[in-house]
Amino acid sequence: MLVMKRIDHVIRQSNIALNFCGAVWILLLMMLVVSDVFMRAAFNSPILGVADIARNSVVGIACLMLPWAMASDSHIRVYMIVSNVPKNVAKILHVFAYLVGFIVFVGIFYSSYRPFIHAFTTGAFEGEGAVRVVTWPTRLLILVAAFFSAYHCLLLVLANISSKLDFRALDNSHTNIEAGAEEAK
């Protein structure tokens, strides 16, 4: 159990770091797009390759931020359904949803592994004009996000099945939205 808590701590700290990198990436992308718009409007000379960079950035940013959303249990849920059923049924629905999530993320990892290896070994890129964006870093982010997200889904399945598990995933099982709804009653 101590080993699992240490692994969980390392993965959670990694998720925080990835989320921070995603936020910085958003800031840098925003500055690039604003600069491109300014250069286009002021000097009729846009920055070349901004569209290619932005296209690849969206996938990278989503992959950097997804594991943190899974770890903090702040993803979108259907609270109307879960809040109107008995606790045992809600627990079953959570287990089912996290199992589906686990299967989906394992599938994403499995289906993305070979394309990552191919992109890494061949130096594959996207873009035709002035900027060619190498694709293997984005493909690596997809693998990392799928791995961490599958880990958290599995952890949440186990946490919902057994109340004996005392991981921090249990602490975040109710978000502020749900707490606010209970206070309103």
- Closest CA relative to residue 138, chosen from 72, 75, 53: 53
Q: What is the pLDDT of residue 165?
A: 47
Alpha-carbon span 75 to 165, nearest angstrom: 22
Tens of pLDDT, residues 24-44: 999 999 999 999 999 999 999
Compute the average pLDDT of residues 130-135. 82
Residue type, 4: M
Cα-based distances in Å from 101 to 51, 65, 107, 134, 154: 31, 16, 10, 29, 9
Is residue 114 exposed (0-12), middle (13-18) or buried (19+ Cβ within 10 Å)?
exposed
Q: What is the pLDDT of residue 180?
A: 40
